[in-house]
Amino acid sequence: MPTEILFQTHLVLGYIAWLLCFGAYGLPWLNSMDRMAAQRAIATLHSFRFFGLVFMLPGVVSPDLPARFATFAAYGDFATGVLAMLALLSVRIRQLFWPFVVAFNVVGMVDLIVDYYHAIQADLPAHAGLFGATYAIPVIYVPLLMITHVAAFYFLLRPHQEATRAMAGDAAAS
């Protein structure tokens, strides 16, 4: 099987497997929490994105991995991880927590989208072996990260459950 087809198959199946897992377990679990707790759980996962710096580590990835992809991916992940950690550190100061939640999700999602763009421009799916030991990151870890960014925005944009219940109670009383 050609490398490009194998990589794309792994990537698509990574998204399918994580969507099935997230739909069955992650989303119901996050839905059972208040907004802050759900965002804290998502931020905890993304706080490990400092690991993306491995894309610049000689001996782990091929020296032929395009620097444009590797550098942007590494620093984008690092920035997202630091912002997620700042969100977690500021959880008791709501005026700081929510901007950090928005920031790590915006930076993180932009990072992943631009990484996909750079990977396509560099024809990385056809040269997936250049990822070396980091091959699992784009096909297993990235789908989970993208799915949880979408979930984070969903929880940020949906009405507060408490406010929704209060409005429903007011409507019933009328």
Q: How far apart are the first and last CA of the chain?
A: 65
Q: In this predicted model, what pLDDT tens digit does every residue of 25-66 receive, in sequence order?
A: 999 999 999 999 999 999 999 999 999 999 999 899 999 999
Q: d(Cα 35, Cα 24) in Å, to the nearest integer? A: 19
The widest CA-to-CA distance across the chain, in whole angstroms, is: 69
Of the candidates 71, 18, 77, the one whose C-alpha atom is nearest the C-alpha of residue 50 is 77
**How far apart (Å, rounded) are the C-alpha atoms in residues 66 and 85?**
29
In a domain, 166, yes or no: no
The answer to whether position 150 is within a domain reads yes
| pLDDT tens-digit map of 126-166 | 999 999 999 999 999 999 999 999 999 999 998 776 544 44
| pLDDT of 13 | 97
- Closest among 160, 79, 91, 83 to 115, alpha carbons compared: 79
Instruction: Return the exposure string of 40-64: e unless at least 16 CB atoms fall within 10 Å of the residue's CB, then b.
Output: bbbbeebbebbebebbbeeeebeee
170 belongs to a structural domain: no
Evaluate whether residue 169 is within a structural domain: no
Residue 148 lies in a domain: yes
Q: What pLDDT, in 10s, does the model give residues 161-171?
A: 654 444 445 55
Please say whether the beta carbons of 53 and 78 come within 8 A: yes
**Residue range of the domain that includes 154:** 3-159
The structural domain count of the chain equals 1
pTM of the model: 0.89
Asked if the structure places residue 168 within a domain, the reply is no
Copy the structure tokens of residue 103: 């920031």
